[in-house]
A and B are shown apart, each in its own frame.
Chain A
Amino acid sequence: MADLRSEFIGIKSPNPFWLASAPPTDKEYNVRRAFEAGWGGVVWKTLGSEGPPVVNVNGPRYGAIYGADRRLLGLNNIELITDRPLQTNLREIKAVKRDYPDRALIVSLMVPCDEESWKAILPLVEETGADGVELNFGCPHGMAERGMGSAVGQVPEYIEMVTRWCKQYTRMPVIVKLTPNITDIRRPAEAAKRGGADAVSLINTINSITSVDLDDFAPEPTIDGKGTHGGYCGPAVKPIALNMVAEIARSSETAGLPISGIGGVTTWRDAAEFMALGAGNVQVCTAAMTYGFKVVQEMISGLSDYMDRKGFASTSDLVGRAVPNVTDWQYLNLNYVTKAEINQDDCIKCGRCYAACEDTSHQAIAMSEDRVFTVKDEECVACNLCIDVCPVDCITMRKLDKGEVDPRTGRTVGDYANWTTHPNNPSANAAE
């Protein structure tokens, strides 16, 4: 059993799996049960300023996207920050932290974008004994209309300003939670860094409409005949989140800035991928909301087995390991040539690879009278589509060795060479 203990910006937790700020962390009852189930930490559901709490809609607040067998692939929500009184939350946070000193307990905050509001709330949180705060600059609906959440997260200057206030008014570590609803994730991350943030966490939810009711002609979830865009999360957003995490991890401006990875983490593998791309830990919301708190147990055993297999002594051996291999397209090796190969023993002859390649790609798969499917090396560009559509995963890519001739181009495979020196590139550096 590998050592999963994690230390993120000085905050210790028994494992790198935290629950993200969301309904699973909205109250003491939930958080205690989450800790009992094994979660390493939680980011408490976002608190607002003192005063009458926000109200939520009283109709449906989620929309969903399904895969086969109604497996939930994407969830969207129009929920706001906590709708419970500030004092209730603070009291509960204090009680939980006292009983679970070994777990990480971060408090998410969202108050109006003025210094007074932030100055007022930070000491109240500090008093609970919480380990840190997370600034919710991400919520894309409702709160953004009131100048908070993603309305702040979309303006790097505001991020920097608010972060600076927070660093000024508290000794707690400050995590800035970023919205993905921007064009370049590096800008808000840089702003957070300039403001003195200890870490960034990302992604918050993505602006979305999951579906439209085709009888009532309104977006879903539908509230009395109307709908609004909500925040998208769950397995479907993982690719977007992974890219954003990698962009920050590999940017020279933000290199070294700790990252808490969020977005679609559902299994140990997802978590390992985020960590390999530079996340020091991960936060989870939808997987817990879909399957309950117990899912963390698979994440723990899976990551542990993987680390044992790899001989990693601690999670820090994994964190960032894939970052050097994230590069720009122009640096990819154009002399890396592969060909698809179908394992005939495992092929079930469904013909999906054929349909995909023949109809939409490179006409590189042949189909015989008796349904034997074979790759035509002289046509195969190695695009991978056949592998992606094969239901039994029986196609692999064979790498051509240096010196072999690619039957498609007739060219001999040579050493590494990329676009920057390619003859077709008008701005190529003079090739050696």
Chain B
Amino acid sequence: MSNSQLTEGIVPGRLDPESYCTNFADHAPPLGAQEARIAADRCYFCHDAPCMEACPTSIDVPLFIRQISTGTPEAAARTIFEQNILGGMCARVCPTETLCEGACVRMDAEGEPVEIGALQRYATDTLMARQNHPFARASRTGKSVAVIGAGPAGLACAHRLAMKGHEVTIYDARAKPGGLNEYGIASYKAPGGFAQAEVAWLAQIGGITFVENWQLGRAGDGALSDLMADHDAVFLGVGLSGVNALRLDGEDKEGIRPATEFIAELRQASDLAKLPIGRDVVVIGGGMTAVDAAVQAKLLGALNVSLVYRRSRAEMPASTVEQEHALTHGVTIIENAAPIAIHGNGAVREIEFAYTRKGAEGLEMTDTGFRLKADQVFKAIGQTLGDTPPQVEVAGGKIKVDGAGRTSAERVWAGGDCTHAGEDLTVTAVAQGRDAAEDIHNFLMEG
């Protein structure tokens, strides 16, 4: 192919074929048995361990690490899966630096935490490699639950319910289950089709039926009331399907699109060499999505990638580790700047920014700014809730739930990114799906 990194415009094949393989390979390769043993030896087996407290799914970290160090990684995996059935994915994608590893006492001791995420992966990979499921399903209860959304929240909820003997049907608008595990997470975090493999492994519990390409509220598919008629309870794990707009003139120019869309396309691409990418890419936003879009654009061969965030780097939702990840991949991070105009005829050519400063009423634009050459712009300034059933109360742009995940509607629960509770992370979604399942179970067994 004749394209290179220097080719103008949005074109495929900027790199030689091997580069795509190396660029998108597992960015944190698994620990070998020897490495795992050494890493496990570093755990102090803390009392009332801070790492466990910091894990949204409350995995018993000291116990599972001890099980690894005594040569029983499969027992370790069971300890993990009891709390978090997506422990395999979480081991790959959790921002551990702000969760368990951030709380590890060895951070205090020497600034190097126990490698909890990598150890979790070692244990879960070992068990999953055997392809048999560690849990048995309880005797059938005759109850049935509809789960909407096959993302981490829905999957965790469905698994827990099925394990307790209920029949579960998972409906998802997409062609494949997994939610953002399949369509969102950076590809080098979970390569090798892990998301689908994990769903298949999880479904071995039995009692879970998947219905794909079925969108709640779409004519011909069904409404909440239809589900309520067929099922004893409903769980909504629909995530965030909309994206925030820049609200600038020319936002519909060619070359400008939501970062999540680009990432989903990238995740589904069968040949990355055929995926077009700009030469001068600008990403607007400061979260995980922005970082992932920027880094992956770079890995696809974009020559210049700038990530522009309207506040300071310290305020970026992306952790320092993620920011460094972007920087080491050659992404330029520009802080305290917000887009004010889009230039170009038909397609974007330049994007104009103003520097910002903190004012009395929040962020203010200053008079000074700059223009960035851009043939491709990714918007990553936040996702929004899609259409939700009218019966379910929404507050502040998210579904309102109580501590047990109950919505305002009778027999309807919700969890994951679509609710206001917790951070928008895979592990949080798992925790909420699981906890809702426990509450649904109690409800069904009482009633």
Contacts and interface: CB of A to CB of B under 8 A. Distances in A.
Interface of A: 68-70, 348-352, 354-355, 367, 371, 391-392
B330 interface: no
A70 B108 CA distance: 25
B445 interface: no
B44 A349 contact: no
A350, A354, A355 interface centre (most CB from chain B within 10 Å): A350
B46 interface: yes
A352 B109 contact: no
Contacts of B105: 348-350
Contacts of A349: 50, 105, 108
B411 interface: no
A367 B38 CA distance: 30
A371 B50 contact: yes
Interface string B88-118: 0000000000000000011011000000000
A294 to B, nearest CB: 23
B443 interface: no
Contacts of B18: none
A350 B38 contact: no
Given A69-B38, A69-B41, A70-B37, A391 B48 contact: no
Given A68-B41, A69-B38, A70-B37, A354 B47 contact: yes
In the A-B complex, the 7 residue pairs with the smallest Cβ-Cβ separation, listed nearest first, are A351-B47, A355-B47, A348-B108, A68-B41, A348-B105, A350-B46, A350-B105
Interface residues of B, number: 15
A350 B44 contact: yes
Interface string B183-205: 00000000000000000000000
Given A69-B38, A391-B44, A391-B109, 7 more contacts: A70-B37, A350-B44, A351-B46, A351-B48, A351-B49, A367-B48, A392-B109
Interface in B44-77: 44-50
A336 to B, nearest CB: 30
Contacts of A351: 46-49
Given A371-B50, A392-B109, A352 B44 contact: yes
A68 B47 CA distance: 19
A354 B41 CA distance: 21
Contacts, number: 34
A215 B108 CA distance: 42
Contact of A352 (B37, B38, B42, B45): B45
B46 to A, nearest CB: 4
A343 to B, nearest CB: 13
9 contacts: A69-B41, A349-B105, A350-B44, A350-B105, A351-B46, A351-B49, A352-B46, A371-B48, A371-B50
Nearest to A371: B50
Contacts of A391: 44, 109
A350 B37 CA distance: 21
Contacts of A352: 44-47
A350 B47 contact: yes
A73 to B, nearest CB: 13
A69 B34 CA distance: 9
Interface string B21-51: 0000000000000000110011011111110
Contacts of B109: 348, 391-392
Contacts of B38: 69-70
Contacts of B106: 348
A348 B111 CA distance: 11
A123 B304 CA distance: 87
Contacts of B50: 349, 371
A375 to B, nearest CB: 15
A362 to B, nearest CB: 16
Nearest to A68: B41
A350 B61 CA distance: 13
Contacts of A371: 48, 50
A371 B49 CA distance: 10
A331 B146 CA distance: 76
A351 B62 CA distance: 12
A326 B413 CA distance: 71
Contacts of A355: 47
Contacts of B41: 68-69
A367 B47 CA distance: 10
Nearest to B34: A70
Contacts of B42: 68
A352 B44 CA distance: 8
Nearest to A349: B105
Interface string B416-432: 00000000000000000
Contacts of B47: 350-352, 354-355, 367
A161 to B, nearest CB: 49
A70 B44 CA distance: 16
B104 to A, nearest CB: 9
Contacts of A350: 44, 46-47, 105
A212 to B, nearest CB: 14
B37, B38, B105 interface centre (most CB from chain A within 10 Å): B105
Nearest to B38: A69
A313 to B, nearest CB: 40
Contacts of B45: 352
A67 to B, nearest CB: 8
Contacts of A354: 47
Contacts of A392: 109
A261 to B, nearest CB: 31
B110 to A, nearest CB: 9
Nearest to A391: B44
B63 to A, nearest CB: 13
Contacts of A68: 41-42
A277 to B, nearest CB: 32
Nearest to B37: A70
A351 B47 CA distance: 5
Contacts of A70: 37-38
A348 B37 CA distance: 23
Nearest to A358: B47
A150 to B, nearest CB: 34
A191 B108 CA distance: 56
Nearest to A390: B44
A53 B392 CA distance: 90
Contacts of B108: 348-349
A68 B109 CA distance: 17
Nearest to B106: A348
B323 to A, nearest CB: 26
A373 to B, nearest CB: 9
A401 B45 CA distance: 36
A349 B50 CA distance: 9
Contacts of B49: 351
